[in-house]
Structure 1
Amino acid sequence: MPRVRSIFLSDIHLGTRACQAERLVEFLREHAAEHIFLIGDIVDFWAMSRSICWKPSHNTVVQKLLRRARRGERVVLIPGNHDEALRDYCGVVFGDIEVASELVHETADGKRFLLIHGDQFDQVTRHHRWVAMLGDRAYDLLVRLNCWFSWGRRKLGISGYWSLAGYAKRKVKTALNFIFDFEASAVHQARERGLDGVICGHIHWATIREIDGLQYVNCGDWVDSCTAIVEHFDGRLELIHWGTRQVSAPPTGASLEAVSGTAEV
C-alpha cells in the first residue's frame, strides 16, 4: 500500500444516490496516511432532508475512517454547507475524529495552507440559499443523467470517462466566471493570513494551480470526478483522479499537476 503523509478529501456527499462511495473505499484501501483531512460536504444533510439513499458502501466509508482514526491516523472533519449542522460541534472529538471549522496545515517542506470547505467564498450560498438549493438539484440531475450516458458509452464500446456535469461547467460562461471568482476569493483569504496557499472543495472542480504566487488547491468531489489530493513526504502535493486515466480539461489557465488512477469508472 502506498503511504503518503496526508490525504485531503471533500464533497463525498454520503447519503445520496450519486455518491461514489465504492470508489472512495478502493482509494482508501490503496493509500495509508498520517493525516486525513475531510474538507466539507462529507455527509449531505441537504439531500437527505428530501430523501435518503444510504448504501452499505456508505457505512464502509464511515467505518474505515473511524478505524483509521482509532489506529493512530489523525482524522479531521471540516464541515461544509451540506453538513453545516456539524459546525455546532467544532472543537469536539467524535470517535477520535476531530471537528474543526478550519485549519492551518503545514506541509513537510514548511508551506502553510488554509484548509477550509469554501462555501464562505460563494456569494450565492451565503446570500441566496434558495438559488444554491436549486443549483444543487440541477447538479444532482446532471450526475444522474451521466450514469445513463456512461452506460450507453460502455455498450457502444467507447472507452474513457465523459462527465456531463464537467461539460456543462466548461461550456457555461457564467459557471466558469464563478469558478474563477471563487478561486480569487480563496487565494485572497490565504494571502490576508500570511499563508502559502489554500486547500478547499465546494465547487467540485479539482485542480492544483498557482494564482498570484500562492497555491490554490481544490480536492474535487466523489460524486462526479472521484478526485483527491495527497501530500507526499517531501511536501509535494499531487492530484489523484481515481477510477480513470482521462481527466476532463480544466478551465483556461488551470492546470492539473498530476493524475493517476485505476480502471474506467
Structure 2
Amino acid sequence: MTETIPASQLLTEMRARAPLVQCITNYVAMNIAANALLAAGASPAMVHAPEEAGEFAAIAGALTINIGTLSTEWIAGMRAAAKAATAAGKPWVFDPVAHFATGFRREATQALLELKPTIIRANASEIIALAGGTGAGKGVDSGDSVEFAEQSAMLLAQQHQAVVAVTGEIDFVTDGSRSVHVHGGSSLMPRITALGCSLTCLVGAFAAVRPDAPFDATVAALATFAVAGRDAAKLAEGPGSFQWRFLDALAALQPAALDAAVTPA
C-alpha cells in the first residue's frame, strides 16, 4: 500500500525549497498566477517562447501548461517544453482550458496529451469532455458538478497514467486507484479570473518538490488553495477584496490547517 504524505508536510517542504516553476499560461492568468506562487512560497517563471521554452523546462523544477490563450507559436513552445521536461525527468501539469470549444483547441490538446502529462487539472466539464463524454460546459466555465465528473476522471487517470484533479465546490483527485476529496474554498473564487489557472501553477510547485509522489503533491496544492480561499472569504466584502485577501491568506497559511481539508472519496 502506498504511504500518503500529509499535505501539511508537503507545504512545509515546498516553502523550504521555493521551487522554480515554468508556467506556460494565458495572458489573463500571468499576473495572478505569479503572485499566487510567490505568496505560497514558490518561484514562478512565465517562459513560453519556442526559442527557449524547451531549454528552460530542463532547468525548472516543474512545468505547467495552460491553453487558455492559444496561438500556433505558443503551441510550439508548449510542445518543446513538454518534451524537454519529460526527457529531463521533470513533472509537468496540463490544464486543458475549454479544449472542446474549437477544432484548433482539440488538436492542440490531443498533441499535448500524447506527450504524457504527469498531472491533468481541469473543471468538471473539461474532464468529462476529455474522457469522451458530453458535458454542459460553455467556454471556460463548467456547467457540471465535480461529482458528475468523478468517473470520467478515473478513466482518464487510468488511460493516461496520470493524476487527474477535478476542481469545483469540492475538489476530486485520483490516480486511477486512490481518490480523495478536498474541502474548503469560497463561492467568491469563481468570480476572480484565472484562479483556477493559478492553481494549476501551484500544483506544479508541489510536484517539483515531490516528483515521485504526484498524487500527494496535487492533493497538497488543492488543499492549500482551498484553505486559503476559505480563510480569505471570512473578511472579504466581495470579489475585489477577496483577491488581495486570498494572496495574504496564502502567505499566512499554517501547514497544520491543511490536513483536515482532505478526506477519502
TM-score, normalised to structure 1, is: 0.34
TM-score, normalised to structure 2, is: 0.34
Judging by fraction of residues, say which structure has more helix.
Answer: 2
Higher Cα Rg: structure 1 or 2? 1
Judging by fraction of residues, say which structure has more strand.
Answer: 1
